[in-house]
Chain A
């Protein structure tokens, strides 16, 4: 697949959250503020790119029988390294995201991509695919967080928008609000998709 095709695939047509419905747990859990969303998105994208690269490079030497085990090991290793680095150099973000950083390891996206895409493709294509899937994930996370933070907290990136008088819609910060926002986004995506490909 050409780079532009991979870009469109990762960001839109096979967007991991809206289209493939992967990574919903962390997507809903950390999307209560834009800052958290960007931090989480960058971490996931970084791990995804490296995980795909390694999966692609290890295609030949690794026999089919142990491919899954190798993917799990590599992914868990990468995520643990990412977690340690975050705790050392970005402690506030690490404290905000909490347990959802180590949980990236079981983020379905990684698994689906390493298994379905990277195993049969050359390294560069795998890296690009990881990058754009990660960016697609980050984009949706940011969209959901922006809505939830503005409506549920009256702020965006911590900056108060409406002054003290705004009574926030607290439900937006709770799981129900996350599902609602995501549901509307998915509906909009489906509608847009159908208009372009009737």
Chain B
């Protein structure tokens, strides 16, 4: 990202919903339990936004728009982890005691959330250039792919809590369509490479 003010502005935009949520909580306008859903949903949306850039750039080819999107992909991922942590903080505030948190840890709707957060922590922790250089590009990329099981676990966590499949499906649909489109493009490219005269 270029520009003296672009990066701070971008991070401010990413942080703004969190600031509003915390302000609402501090003013007593909402309960911590009311913020569980918005913080979790925003985290999922940011993960999806980060994950969409790759397949869409593959489908539509290189352009300034997708280059820009790819450039902010890591920021989106780190912000997604930030909102997942905020989701956890709201959960702790809502529950109020470690004993009751541990008591419900074995519930599938809860441990799926914990596991998703643990999986997300790995790519988030290595989302900087030095880590990429140290690990090597291949290893680093493999570790970043943990976001896929993380996203699936997050959606299962959501479904098991709400039992409304539509919102989770609406969130997953763009990513599924982007990957389907990329597979079609790759398949066509392979066919045309095999039969250059066709």
Instruction: Please indicate whether A and B come from the same complex rather than being unrelated chains.
Output: no
